[in-house]
Structure 1
Amino acid sequence: MFVGAVDLPMLIVSLAILGLGLVMVASSSVSVAARETGNAFYFFDRQAVYALLGIGAAVFAFNTRLAMWERSGMALLLFTYFLLLMVLIPGIGHQVNGSIRWIGFGAFNVQVSEPTKLFMAIYLAGYLVRRQGEVCNTLRGFAKPMLVMVIAAALLLVEPDYGSAVTLLAMGLGMLFLGGARLSQFALFLLLTLIAVAVLAVSSPYRVERLTGFLNPWAHPYSSGYQLTQSLIAIGGGSWWGVGLGESVQKLFYLPEAHNDFLFAVLAEELGLVGIVLVVVLFSFLVFRGFRIGARAAEAGNPFAANLAYGLTIWIGMQAFINMAVNMGILPTKGLTLPLMSYGGSSMVINCMALGFLQRIHRETVEGDATPARGRRRRRRAT
């Protein structure tokens, strides 16, 4: 019963990515950890704890009925705004590397952008069920949920967290498109977004430099282009087969955030092109299974589950793509982690929980428990 309720290929791939991530966190952080803490496996030990907490969160999501989350959409939206506002209050939000993104809860710091993406996906999935006709037929139906997303993205930009803002908007647009919104509405929103980005860029020379600096990082290899040039050196040094696990040179205090945002570069140096292809294939397969789970939920008559599966899959796939693209100099630096692999508690726990939701969607689909929350409420009132 349990095996049939789980999407086994997705589970295997998820565990493979998680395991590879733990190995690379250990490899990429030993030097920094030994220097800063005296324990070479300090970051690995903490990441292992985060992984266990993430697995617990995934099990919780897997064993919780989707109808409960559908009914909680508005409460989760309000809680999301509460977190995004709280982190900006001096004394509550913690600043790291010039960004205020974390709120302390005892021994843990929570990066508010991570639950924001999950809770927004849940809210929007429910909205698309309640307002399906309005979203498909009117500009107002499209504009209202996008306004909700834009407000959240604007609060993320204040931190600033550009990568999470881009991921959130991409997830929202993808969910609306798959939910039946018109293509003309997307064109209008993209046009307005490009105009807003242009205005913001022109208003600040710093933003112009940030947006264009990745095009030629070698022009400033010891200042604005330092992190990217070190990443490119690492990736280029890996060649076909890599220099060997644990043998990276760039992680030895050359490449900042080697165990975090730029873990992919260390992996490329140690495992080479083979390692790069392996990671790309694993994430591609994860995305494929996620969309397949969503399509099966739609066929089974559970639009909330389908919308949520699409949103979670777009989010994880988009974040993985952006992180790898940043490491290779295809996109400007965004400060996004590689899901399930980069060091970080908030990202690990929330990403695992998202995968738990995907498994729950699969479970309710195969077990035939796909009655939407509103349908169940109407049925109870009728009886």
Structure 2
Amino acid sequence: MKDTEKPTKTPTETTRHARLEVFFNPASFILAAAIGLTLLGITILFSASMSYRTDPYFFVRKQVTWLGVALVVGFVAARVNLEKLRGLSWWIVGVLFAGLVLVLVPGIGVEVNGARRWFDVGPGRLQISEFAKLGMVFVLAHYLARNHKDIGTFGRGFLYPLAGLGVVCFLILLQPDFGTAMLTGAVGAIMLMLAGTRLIFLVPSVLAGAAAIGVAIYFDPVRMSRITSFLDVEGNRAEGSYQLWQAILAFGAGGVQGVGLGSGRQQMAFLPEAHTDFIFAIVGEELGLPFTLGVVCVFALVFLAGVLHLRRAPNVFQFLLVTGSLLLMTLQAVINLGVVTGLLPTKGMSLPFISYGGSNLLLMAMIVGLMLNTRTAWARPVLRDRDREWKEVAA
């Protein structure tokens, strides 16, 4: 053998390398990031729960309970056969459509602060729109993959999937939940673009949808006040922008080092929703700049890891499914971080893994489970080829 030649790996070495790739790959990093963010969230909830005077550990206990359920849901998502599950796509459509309609019916859906988005489930509540987002991603990925040869046509490649996406977004708007509707529409539009839908059809429809959302906000006094308050935070700090102003004060008080875990003041009933939508401000106040930057960097790395993971996708369906799931997680994080830091108008949206809330935690567990599912499934062809090669050599 010449000195310049590299020694080839034996089939056994190659198989061992392929098996290691199952554990040391981008999807594994996403799992590690999810664990770290969840632990941070539970830790911060100990402080943020102090405003709940009757039981300071109320939110912590409930979140830990939801976490137990989320682990089971994530395990199931990691083990299910995605290709066989495609056969139930239209059943999934029917269940989600029924849920989005039934939640609007008085006496069935639970109304909180003028919004009807939840079902009572035993001791807790489930927000149906959270699961509708992932269901939409799954069904849309199945449809686009099945009709990929016709993706350039107006009907099957654009009109039909857009109509289905529009119905889901419209039902979510009726709850009303403008933020979730916009997130769902944005993820669906990106999936259509990546699948190959012609931009001459897609771009005008996206602009029209954005304009329709703008008109709906304009005629909604509550949401319009959020926009006007956002344009002058300090001038409206006692009214419309009170929540954002308190969040800004929290970041300012925390500074670089933070005031210390459990020593923050904003969770003492000064900052509304300190345990849910604005929990990132508590992170900034108590743990300081290193942790806030750390959270931002972790979500950025999760997105990068997801993109790297997508390079192994074996078919269009699984590529679009993982893409949509990744966008549901990372875009939601971007919106929450933008709202809490004053870069975006106030919108109630949880910070994945960190904010209190069972429905979103279950959704994120499903998404991480899907990542782990595809981590194993996408490595199987490699393992199978290497095993067959080894058997041929042994024979």
TM-score by length of 1: 0.90
Gaps of 5+ in 1: 371-383
Q: Which residue of 1 aligns with 2:81?
A: 65
Q: In structure 2, give the amino acid aligned to 1:263.
A: I
| 1:344 equivalent in alignment to 2:357 | yes
Q: Does the 8 Å CA contact 1:88/1:159 hold for their aligned counterparts? A: yes
2:211 alignment partner in structure 1: 195
* Cα shift readout 1:218-268 (whole Å, capped 9, x = no counterpart): 222222111111111112222112111211111111000101011011111
Unpaired runs of at least 5, structure 2: 1-15, 384-395
C-alpha deviation, 1:308, in angstroms: 0.5
Which residue of 303, 311, 314 corresponds with 2:316? Answer: 303
1:111 matched to 2:111? The reply is no
**Distance in 2 of aligned mates of 1:199 and 1:76:** 31
Paired position in structure 2 for 1:32: 51
Q: 2:376 aligns with which of 355, 359, 363?
A: 363
**Relative to structure 1, is the Cα distance of residues 185 and 276 closer, same or farther in structure 2, using a 3 angstrom cutoff?**
farther
Structure 1 residues 168 and 252: alpha-carbon distance in aligned structure 2, compared to 1, 3 A threshold:
same
1:219 to 235, 246, 252: 235
In the alignment, what sits opposite 1:51?
A: 67
Equivalent residue pairs, number: 363
Of 268-277 and 255-264, more deviation after overlay is shown by: 268-277
The answer to whether the 8 A contact 2:154-2:201 is kept is: no
The residue identity in structure 2 corresponding to 1:214 is F
Query: Structure 1 residue 325 and structure 2 residue 311: aligned?
Result: no
User: Cα distance, 1:368 vs. partner?
Assistant: 2.0
1:156-167 correspondence to structure 2 within 5 Å: 156-167=172-183
How far apart, CA to CA, are the structure 2 residues paired with 1:3 and 1:121? 30
1:86/1:93 contact within 8 Å kept: yes
Q: Which amino acid aligns with 1:310?
A: T
Candidates 140, 148, 154, aligned match of 2:170:
154
What is the aligned-residue RMSD (CA, Å)?
A: 1.9
Q: Look up the match of 1:16.
A: 36
Residue 114 of structure 2 aligns with an amino acid whose one-letter code is: G
Offset, 1:205? 4.5
Percentage identity across aligned positions? Answer: 33
| 1:263 and 2:279 are equivalent in the alignment | yes
The worse-fitting range, judged by mean Cα deviation, of 285-294 and 306-315 is 285-294
Partner residue, 1:379: none
Q: Is the 8 A contact 2:116 2:176 kept in 1?
A: yes
Written as runs of structure 1 = structure 2, the 5 A alignment for 1:112-261 is 112-138=128-154, 141-261=157-277
CA contact (8 A) 1:200 1:207 kept: no
Structure 1 residues 139 and 215, CA gap change in structure 2 (3 angstroms): farther
Q: 1:14 to 1:207 in 2, by over 3 A?
A: closer
| Alpha-carbon distance change, 46 to 77 in structure 1, aligned in 2, over 3 angstroms | same
Give CA-to-partner distance per residue, 1:95-138, whole Å, 9 cap, x none.
11221110012222111111111111110110111111322343
Answer yes or no: is 1:354 the counterpart of 2:367: yes
Asked if the contact 1:22–1:341 (Cα under 8 Å) also holds between the matched residues in 2, the reply is yes
1:158–1:117: structure 2 CA closer, same or farther, 3 Å change rule? same
Give CA deviations for 1:267-289 in whole Å, capped at 9, x if unaligned: 11112221111001111111122
The offset of 1:335, in angstroms, is: 1.0
Q: Judging changes above 3 Å, is the alpha-carbon distance between structure 1 residues 67 and 251 closer, same or farther for their aligned structure 2 residues?
A: same
Between the aligned partners of 1:53 and 1:246, the Cα distance in structure 2 is 27
Is the contact between residue 246 and residue 266 of structure 2 (CA under 8 Å) also seen in structure 1?
Answer: yes
Q: In structure 2, how many angstroms separate the alpha carbons of the residues matched to 1:195 and 1:161?
A: 17
C-alpha displacement of 1:197: 2.9
Could you tell me the TM-score, scaled by structure 2's length?
Answer: 0.87
SS in 2 for 1:100: strand
**Aligned-pair CA distance for 1:4:** 5.1
Structure 2 Cα separation of the partners of residues 206 and 194 of structure 1: 19
Q: Say whether residues 1:87 and 2:107 are aligned partners.
A: no
Q: Computing the radius of gyration over CA atoms, which structure comes out larger, 1 or 2?
A: 2
